[in-house]
């Protein structure tokens, strides 16, 4: 086959060039979208309906947080439109699935990536910063919308504790992720899925009193046979506040896992690779490896989550944690006048992409809003709220200069390059919201904060640019749907 390909390349140059041109033309054509006929209220209603339906579906496969879709269901509660779905019930149920399910680490805090079943029981144990940032913001928004479920507040509090303990660099930024696998014993050749998180029934009997174990079994999915390869993944049966005795039992599990009580363990240093995981003398279990690089977009999602939770729950410590991460980005991620996406051990690298710009601008605006009247100032920049708005405006200016599409509207993913066959403008939400959807909301907020209507013009152009997608496939871009009314500016 390779010889035939080589002969074709050597003797069919003209035909090969023709095929190449056709393929390239088709690829470039996919990046050009037809304009929308009208950005109508009916289009908005269609987007709310479809995306609320995505969250309400009871599929037989894996269960993912899908926060961009859940946010649409939550926001659609504000609109008086006819729908097959009860947005209040759908959005609250997603919060309960997350805060009560096995996807949440009920002992140490933090959310796993997804569950492998539709009942939210057994997770894929990897913990991603981008999921946790979005979930913290979502649960805080649910609480602010009136769903004041104690499990939501507990999940946020434990997640922030996990973030401070395991995912925050000494410089103030947040690490990217923790692996799903970990070693049971240093002599093992390969790590095991979920070993750091699951519980053998005999171990529970040894760690807890009979009364504590009985209460744990009453409130959580704990059996002698387990629910994951003979082990137990903790999943709550009921919402509400956990009893003091049950919290005491869970604290004993925390100590068994980490080798110290939560009160005494403010920092749990990361295992940066398998060798470090196996050779470090851990007081408890061997932890999973932590990816310690800093990614601007993922940090920004967490900054936004912390800023929102600090306001909703009146927790200035959450805000200070967010401010330190934002200060690090603002101080270290601009090199030679350009914004950069990642930081490896103090070294900024890779030019920022559209999601880094959009999500960092959102984070700065969220900090600006959260700091109003809080009395909190940044330690690094000694900033007041207005300075975060100024930083957002400057970042938006750079975003517009390098990634705005003058011809078609919306933002390109990356800088122009001869190496790119197609310069894409991503609009489809996935595990994280699409940059263009977030950018639209930012532009509306900036217009209202500055009274500069050029931002509003860009927001409308961006909506027009992807209007045909919203008409044809509204489930592709939930982050764009609610923004056509400017609803994201509501506190």
- Pick the closest to residue 141 from 98, 104, 172 (CA basis): 98
**What average pLDDT does the structure give for the chain?**
91
Domain boundary among 291, 310, 331: 291
Provide the number of structural domains found in the chain.
Answer: 2
9 has a pLDDT exceeding 50:
yes
Question: Does residue 151 share a domain with residue 8?
Answer: no
Residue 485 lies in a domain: no
Question: Does residue 266 share a domain with residue 119?
Answer: yes
> Which residue has tokens 């940059």?
435
Domain boundary among 250, 276, 291: 291
Question: Does residue 182 share a domain with residue 251?
Answer: yes
Question: Does residue 102 share a domain with residue 26?
Answer: no
CA atoms within 13 A on the CB side of 346: 2
pLDDT classification of 24: cutoffs 50, 70, 90: confident
Residue 223 lies in a domain: yes
Question: Does residue 217 share a domain with residue 156?
Answer: yes
Residue 20 lies in a domain: yes
What integer pLDDT is reported at residue 377 of this predicted model? 55
Residue 436 lies in a domain: no
Asked if 160 contacts 318 with a C-beta cutoff of 8 angstroms, the reply is yes
pLDDT tens track for 62-119:
899 999 999 999 998 888 777 889 999 999 999 999 999 999 999 999 999 999 999 9
pLDDT classification of 61: cutoffs 50, 70, 90: confident
pLDDT classification of 491: cutoffs 50, 70, 90: very low
CA atoms within 13 A on the CB side of 427: 25
Asked if 423 contacts 29 with a C-beta cutoff of 8 angstroms, the reply is no
Question: Does residue 212 share a domain with residue 265?
Answer: yes
Question: Does residue 124 share a domain with residue 12?
Answer: no
Question: Does residue 17 share a domain with residue 103?
Answer: no
pLDDT classification of 484: cutoffs 50, 70, 90: very low
Residue 402 lies in a domain: no
What are the residue ranges of helices labelled H in 12-86?
A: 13-30, 41-56, 67-75
The answer for residues whose C-beta is within 8 angstroms of residue 220's C-beta and 6 or more apart is 106, 232, 234, 235, 236, 237
Domain extent, residue 156, equals 61-167+177-291
Question: Does residue 6 share a domain with residue 120?
Answer: no
Residue 43 lies in a domain: no
Residue 325 lies in a domain: no
pLDDT tens track for 379-436:
544 556 678 999 999 999 999 999 999 999 999 999 988 787 788 898 889 899 999 9
441 has a pLDDT exceeding 80:
yes
Question: Does residue 143 share a domain with residue 278?
Answer: yes
Residue 87 lies in a domain: yes
Question: Does residue 147 share a domain with residue 201?
Answer: yes
What integer pLDDT is reported at residue 176 of this predicted model? 98
Domain boundary among 254, 270, 291: 291
DSSP labels, 318-343:
HHHHHHHHHHHHHHHSEETTEEEEEE
Question: Does residue 276 share a domain with residue 222?
Answer: yes
């Amino acid at each position: 086959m390779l010889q035939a390909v080589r002969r074709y390349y050597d003797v069919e140059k003209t035909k090969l060039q023709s095929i190449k041109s056709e393929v390239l033309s088709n690829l470039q054509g996919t990046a050009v979208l037809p304009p929308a006929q009208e950005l109508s209220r009916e289009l908005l209603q269609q987007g709310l309906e479809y995306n609320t339906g995505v969250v309400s579906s009871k599929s037989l496969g894996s269960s993912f947080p899908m926060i961009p879709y859940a946010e649409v269901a939550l926001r659609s509660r504000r609109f008086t439109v006819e729908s097959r779905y009860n947005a209040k019930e759908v959005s609250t149920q997603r919060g309960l699935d997350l805060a009560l399910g096995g996807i949440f680490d009920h002992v140490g805090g933090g959310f796993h990536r997804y569950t492998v079943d539709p009942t939210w029981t057994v997770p894929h144990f990897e913990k991603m910063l981008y999921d946790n940032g979005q979930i913290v913001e979502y649960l805080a928004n649910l609480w602010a919308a009136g769903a004041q479920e104690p499990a939501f507040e507990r999940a946020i509090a434990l997640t922030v504790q996990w973030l401070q303990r395991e995912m925050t660099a000494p410089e103030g930024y947040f690490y990217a992720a923790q692996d799903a696998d970990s070693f049971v014993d240093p002599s093992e050749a390969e790590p095991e899925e979920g070993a750091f998180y699951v519980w053998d029934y005999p171990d529970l009997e040894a760690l807890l009193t009979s009364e504590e174990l009985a209460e744990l079994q009453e409130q959580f999915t704990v059996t002698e046979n387990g629910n994951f390869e003979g082990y137990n993944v903790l999943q709550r049966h009921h919402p509400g506040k956990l009893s003091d005795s049950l919290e005491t039992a869970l604290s004993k599990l925390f100590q068994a896992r980490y080798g110290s009580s939560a009160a005494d363990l403010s920092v749990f240093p990361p295992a940066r690779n398998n060798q470090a995981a196996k050779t470090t003398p851990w007081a408890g279990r061997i932890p999973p490896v932590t990816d310690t690089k800093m990614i601007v977009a993922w940090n920004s999602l967490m900054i936004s989550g912390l800023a929102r939770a600090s306001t909703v729950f009146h927790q200035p410590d959450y805000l200070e944690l967010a401010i330190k991460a934002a200060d690090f980005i603002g101080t270290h991620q601009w090199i030679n006048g350009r914004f950069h996406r990642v930081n490896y051990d103090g070294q900024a690298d890779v030019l920022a992409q559209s999601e880094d710009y959009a999500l960092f601008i959102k984070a700065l605006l969220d900090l600006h809003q959260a700091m109003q009247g809080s009395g909190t100032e940044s330690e690094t920049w000694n900033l007041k709220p207005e300075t975060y708005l100024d930083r957002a405006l400057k970042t938006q200016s750079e975003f517009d200069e390098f990634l705005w599409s003058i011809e078609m509207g919306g933002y390109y993913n990356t800088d122009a390059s001869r190496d790119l066959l197609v310069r894409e403008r991503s609009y489809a939400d996935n595990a994280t919201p699409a940059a263009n959807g977030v950018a639209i909301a930012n532009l509306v907020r900036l217009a209202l904060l500055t009274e500069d209507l050029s931002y509003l013009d860009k927001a409308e152009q961006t909506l027009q640019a992807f209007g045909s997608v919203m008409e044809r496939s509204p489930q592709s871009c939930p982050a764009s749907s609610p923004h056509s009314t400017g609803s994201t500016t509501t506190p």
